[in-house]
């Protein structure tokens, strides 16, 4: 038996609209019968244990507790609200999910997070093994060590001398490697070279530039 394997690399098509539809699939499904969820929702309709909270220093921490009964006591201790663990409104995951309990719990956690800075809560939640993350700023994402190591950003120097970190396309090809990152050329930067390729002499280029027919640098 002879088995033939195609060596051609398959074509991959990606649509921005298709990707957005997939990413928002949960919401797309939830608005259909029999779920019939209503959007937009207010913050106080969200699930308290999977929301971001502002800390006393203005920074935000996102918590994501998927197993509430397992982590309830540790979380409440870390947040210095041990009495909440025995509150019947918040005792089980189902209790926390009740619409009438969400608002009061969110307000309680908002007040508690704002009572201390983000470093304080980050340390306590980390020690308690609670899944959480600081919400990053745009200024942090563009210069993160992870972004640099993965070549998601590129350090460039403009003709003006100004230095920037710019995001680069995140798609890489195994055969092509990392493509060069180059600034867009300024108006007239390539005019002389192109005109010479078309047979124009240096004097003719100068004449076109002086007459305003072409921008030649």
Residue position matching structure tokens 């190591």: 149
Reading the chain (217 residues) residue by residue, the pLDDT tens digits are: 444 555 566 677 778 899 899 999 988 888 888 887 877 788 998 999 999 999 999 999 999 999 999 999 999 999 999 999 999 999 999 999 999 999 999 999 999 999 999 999 999 999 999 999 999 898 888 888 999 998 889 888 888 889 989 888 777 777 777 877 777 888 888 888 888 888 888 788 788 878 787 887 7
Pair 195, 215: CB distance under 8 Å = no
Tokens describing residue 123: 């340390």
d(CA 134, CA 187): 43
* Verdict on whether the full-model pTM lies above 0.75: no
Strand residue runs (E) in 59-115: 60-63
How far is residue 116 from each of residues 50, 80, 104, measured CA to CA in Å?
Answer: 20, 11, 20
| Residue-level pLDDT at 34 | 82
d(CA 124, CA 141): 24
Name the 3-class secondary structure at 164: strand
| Residue-level pLDDT at 1 | 47
Which H/E stretch holds residue 132?
A: strand 132-134
| Residue-level pLDDT at 37 | 80
| Residue-level pLDDT at 6 | 55
């Amino acid at each position: 038996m002879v088995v033939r394997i195609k060596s051609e690399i398959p074509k991959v098509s990606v649509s921005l609209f298709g990707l957005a539809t997939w990413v928002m699939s949960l919401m797309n499904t939830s608005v259909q019968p029999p779920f019939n969820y209503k959007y937009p929702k207010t913050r106080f309709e969200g699930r308290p244990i999977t929301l971001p909270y502002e800390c006393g220093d203005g920074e935000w921490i996102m918590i994501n507790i998927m197993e509430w009964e397992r982590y309830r006591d540790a979380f409440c201790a870390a947040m210095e609200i041990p009495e909440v663990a025995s509150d019947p409104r918040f005792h089980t995951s189902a209790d926390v999910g009740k619409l009438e309990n969400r608002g009061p719990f969110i307000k309680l956690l908002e007040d508690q997070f704002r009572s201390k800075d983000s470093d304080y809560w980050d340390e306590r939640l980390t020690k308690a093994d609670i899944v959480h993350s600081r919400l990053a700023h745009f200024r942090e994402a563009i210069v993160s060590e992870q972004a640099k190591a993965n070549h998601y950003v590129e350090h460039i120097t403009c003709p003006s001398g100004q230095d920037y970190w710019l995001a680069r396309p995140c798609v890489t090809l195994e055969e092509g490697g990392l493509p060069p990152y180059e600034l867009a050329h300024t108006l007239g930067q390539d005019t002389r070279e192109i005109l010479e390729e078309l047979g124009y002499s240096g004097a003719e280029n100068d004449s076109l530039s002086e007459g305003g027919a072409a921008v030649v640098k």
